[in-house]
Structure 1
Amino acid sequence: MLGFIESVFLVLTITEFILGNLVNGFIVSINGGHWFKSKKISLSDFIITSLALFRIFLLWIIFIDNLIIVFSYHTHDSGIMMQLIDIFWTFTSHFNIWLISCLSVFYCLKIASFSHPSFLWLKWRASRVVVGMLWGALLFSCVCTMSLMNEFKIYSALTRSEDSPNMTEYSRLKRQEYNLMHVLGNLWKIPSLTVSLIAYFLLLLSLGKHRQQMQQYSIGSRDQSTEAHKRAMRIIFSFLLFFLLYFLSFLILASSRFLPETKIARLIGVVITMSYLVGDSLILIFCNNKLKQTFVAMLPCECGYPQPASKGPFAS
């Protein structure tokens, strides 16, 4: 029999699971359908579609993990089930985060304007740079997943020590080492966060420089370049906010072993994680003209949607 708190969290996760699949499925269907019809796709649309697809995989993994926590908590951290969930969750999570970083870099290189030779060299090769980042992200995600092998070895040694008599102190040390490895595993996410922060601040500097030029030549502040800067910054800033929320959820999940109410802490972490996968995907829809127009047109209360006045990296 489920308690009141477990029932509330189960309803929340089911709701977020359904919304997440609908929102990300919408992105995949619209961009995938356009790709199928035109036989081509822009790099930004490819990244967004891949992001939505991997988020669907991640939603299913998290939902299955949540069901195990709610209905069979005593078996959650044992056996092959725990290892399979950890492997798939780690890979899809890291690759999702790096896809966001790749999108941030792409927007930065396409929109920001600097005269430094290094930046110009990257800007002229923006597509190649981002494609290279995608391959690097795939490799990095595999390395992060491979690092779980050490955790599994520690857990295996811990299981054997707990089954043996007179191994209390050794078991305690191994348990502390295993829990610490789980917490430190979050440090793998710092490089992708750093890349997104750099892209955001470069756009901020570029916008400030662009505004000074507009004031110098007495040009209005709502020109196309300024609006593109602002929209890119809103997207990346939203990514960063939701990423910090996502990072917080992983800290809660990893640190739950040190908290008195372990089961509740894990359920809170799952709910926060799934809310990130829903909210961040909604931002992708409303910051992309093609997805936004289609989405608004599907709403029953849709009363006409004005066409965008300008094209840019978000209009595809």
Structure 2
Amino acid sequence: MPLLEIFLWAILVTVSIVGLLGNGFITAVNGHRWLRNRKMLPCDLLLTSLGTSRFLLQVISLVGCVLYYISSEISLGPYAGTVIHFSWIFLNMASLWCATWLSVFYCLKVTSFANPLFIWLKLRVNTLMPRLLGMSITVFTILFLPPFVDYSRKLCNYTGTLPANANHSEICKTIFASFDILQLIITSINFSINVSASILLLLSLWKHVRKLKKSSPGVKDLSTQVHINVMKPLLFSLFLYVFHFRGMILYRIGIFDLDKNESLFPELLLSFFPSAHSIILIVTNPKLKVSVCTLRKKRTS
């Protein structure tokens, strides 16, 4: 095994384990709280949906990588390859929408702008965000099913009969190309909403910091540090998401050659954001931080 491949595998496994533990922790903590209280706040619902979708996404990614490494015939077969590929697409898009509406939720809760539409959204954020999440995933599912059915039942059936003078791989690539265009359009819309919400939140926090500088020194120092501590992980998350979006674009336009040892690089590129963002959410969420502290006390006691 080449040294580069060993290095990429080591990083990918580490990132995946971090993602599985982080997202599994978010899902377990919020799920336990829901079973105990029989209710879930909108923010917790978005967090739980995000953690669950990312946990399953990491599992699918690892399974796909292992199958591809063991035998390319297994991972690229008519059934296993189709299920893994489309499952990854669906879970990745679901996790992106969860992250986007969570960013919008935080933006509406924290910021304050004298805009009628913004005020209307702010007053209804608790009911709107779960509905928008459900609508987003439903719309994508409706658009997702036709190419999946077309790919799995007709054109990519190795036992079926292809049209005259038709090449199997070319037909499959044609379906994937048309579906990739649709996916890129939806992902771009998702990216625009997420980045806009994050930038608005950062601008609001920065304006508040500037106002605090005009207040008394004691209040200024304490409150300014609190706002800066909020802005740092937010900026890091935004950077990671932009990096992730760029990786998806490069992956979809076929810049990576999956027949080379460097085929693990796009998987690593696309796995880093879900794993790192889950840790950021745990560190910055007060309820999750309390759960982490509780677990530490139980281990040390």
**TM-score of the pair, normalised by structure 1:** 0.77
CA distance in 1, matches of 2:175, 2:261: 20
Percent of pairs with identical residues: 23
- AA in 2 matched with 1:270: E
Picking from 289, 294, 301, the partner of 2:291 is: 294
Deviation at 1:189, TM superposition (A): 0.8
Indicate yes or no: 2:197 matched with 1:188. no
Are 1:45 and 2:72 counterparts? no
Question: Whose relative contact order is higher, 1 or 2, with alpha carbons under 8 Å and at least 6 apart?
Answer: 2
1:201, distance to aligned residue in structure 2 (A)? 2.5
Q: What is aligned with 1:312?
A: none
Per-residue Cα deviation, 1:221-274 (whole angstroms, up to 9, x for no partner): 3576x7776566445433322222322333344344x55563434311112222
What residue is the counterpart of 1:94 in the other structure? Answer: 93
Report the aligned-residue RMSD.
Answer: 3.6
The match for 1:274 is: 271
Higher mean C-alpha displacement, 291-300 vs 280-289: 291-300
Instruction: Indicate if the aligned counterparts of 1:193 and 1:240 stay in contact, CA closer than 8 A.
Output: no
Secondary structure at the aligned position of 1:221 is classed as helix
Q: State the distance in 1 between where 2:154 and 2:227 align.
A: 48
Q: Which aligned pairs between 1:1-316 and structure 2 lie closer than 5 A?
A: 2-146=1-145, 148-149=147-148, 152=151, 156=155, 167=165, 174=171, 177=174, 180-181=177-178, 184=181, 185-211=183-209, 213-214=211-212, 220-221=219-220, 233-256=231-254, 259=256, 262-296=259-293, 298-299=295-296
User: In the TM superposition, what is the alpha-carbon distance from 1:88 to its structure 2 partner?
Assistant: 1.2
Does the aligned pair in 2 maintain the 1:252–1:266 contact within 8 Å? no
| More off after superposition, 280-289 vs 186-195 | 186-195
1:109 CA displacement: 0.9
Report the AA paired with residue 119 of structure 1: F
The 2-side partners of 1:243 and 1:147 are apart by 29
Q: For residues 202-229 of structure 1, what are the alpha-carbon distances to aligned partners after superposition, in whole Å with 9 as ceiling and x for unaligned?
A: 22343354456546666843576x7776
Contact 1:107 1:232 in 2 (8 A): no
User: For the structure 1 residues 145 and 232, does the alpha-carbon distance in structure 2 shift closer, same or farther, using more than 3 Å as the test?
Assistant: farther
Matching residue of 1:314: none
One-letter amino acid matched to 1:186:
L
Q: Give distance in 2, aligned partners of 1:58 and 1:91.
A: 9
Residue segments in structure 2 that go unaligned for 5+ positions in a row: none
1:73: Cα distance to partner? 1.6
Contact persistence 1:6–1:70 (CA under 8 A): no
Deviation for aligned residue 1:161: 12
Q: 2:155 touches 2:172 (CA, 8 Å); kept in 1? A: no
Q: Which structure 1 residue ranges, 5 or more long, are not aligned?
A: 304-316
Q: CA shift at 1:156, angstroms? A: 2.1
**Structure 2 length as normaliser, TM-score?**
0.81
Distance 1:41 1:117 in 2: 29
Q: Is the 8 A contact 1:61 1:88 kept in 2?
A: yes
**Structure 1 stretch displaced more, 281-290 or 263-272:** 263-272
Q: Does the 8 Å contact 2:162/2:168 carry over to 1? A: no
Distance 1:139 1:150 in 2: 17
Deviates more, 1:2-11 or 1:90-99: 2-11
Q: Any conservation in 2 of the 1:111–1:228 contact (CA below 8 Å)?
A: no
User: In 2 relative to 1, CA 74–244 (structure 1 residues): closer, same or farther, beyond 3 Å?
Assistant: farther
Q: Which moved more, 1:5-14 or 1:122-131?
A: 5-14
Task: Classify the secondary structure of the residue corresponding to 1:34.
Answer: helix
Report the CA distance shift for 1:207/1:6 in structure 2 as closer, same or farther (over 3 A): closer
Q: How much has 1:98 moved relative to structure 2? A: 0.5
